Structure 1
Amino acid sequence: MRGLGQLVSLACRLFLAGLYLWAAHDKVWDPASFAAAMARYDLLPLVLVNSASVLLAWLELVMGLCLLVGLATRAAALWAAGLLAFFTGLMIYAGITGVGFDCGCFPGQAGHPAGYEAAVRDALMMLPALWLLVLPGTWLSLGGRRRDRSDRLTLSV
């Protein structure tokens, strides 16, 4: 049963890594388009939109890389779950207000309207992140090897 949990953890980690790396790619290389998408939500003052969009794009990129290599998996999963919870709330807000614009989740990929369907999608994508919070797994993980070695050292003392 332990092997199945490790396999599910690896699948969750790679899924989230691919998701966040894909989402971050266009945001990092075309920050102006992402800043414009963020500005449409009208949640931040315009003077903060550019810095917030760059910060979020690079956070997604670093998080995706950490998940890909299995480094700080729980921390990356916590950030992923938190962002997805925020995005879910943002999509519900967009559904309530009926804004009807592209969500900005994956710039360059038109056809992702903000609203209730996007909220359900984001909530479902949060499930792998929650799994990784409970069982981060060590298969193909840089962080898991280091932790195992330190556990042996504390047990032998």
Structure 2
Amino acid sequence: MNTLTLLPFIVLIAAMFLMTRSAKKKQQQAVSMRNQMQPGSGVRTIGGMYATVKEVNEDTVLLDAGPGVELLFAKNAIGAVLTDDEYNRIVHGIEHDLKVDAAVVPDDASSLAETDEPAADASADKAVDLGKKDADAVADETPAAKADEAESKKTDGESDAK
């Protein structure tokens, strides 16, 4: 067989190997993340529910979803183990990392321009000609109208050839 005909098969096998390798790597990361869960840590399930881990067993996790609400989930149903700051920010709305002296981002661009002069009124602005013409002027500017205008501008002694 020609090596040129084998090349697509080799590329296909290499692509399949790389895809399965990356998928296996992601699975290993998820398993290690789930094994690092401890009671008291905040989690998000694959269904999108946020809860606190109350007890960790070999294949299951007991979650505290609220006062008096305990739910038993499979470990595979845990989508992410959250940091304490992230869990408090999402569930309780508590922001720990806000800096008082941090610059405030303005809502509009008007505060970005630092000038000592007061802002000019919009009525004081000059009208800008964008090259638009009246409808009458546009109608008059057909090629025939331009030729007629050029003829009328000629004086008695001028000719077309110059």
TM-score bracket for this pair, using the shorter chain length: under 0.3
| TM-score normalised by the chain length of structure 2 | 0.27
* Structure number with higher strand proportion: 2
The structure number with the bigger radius of gyration is 2
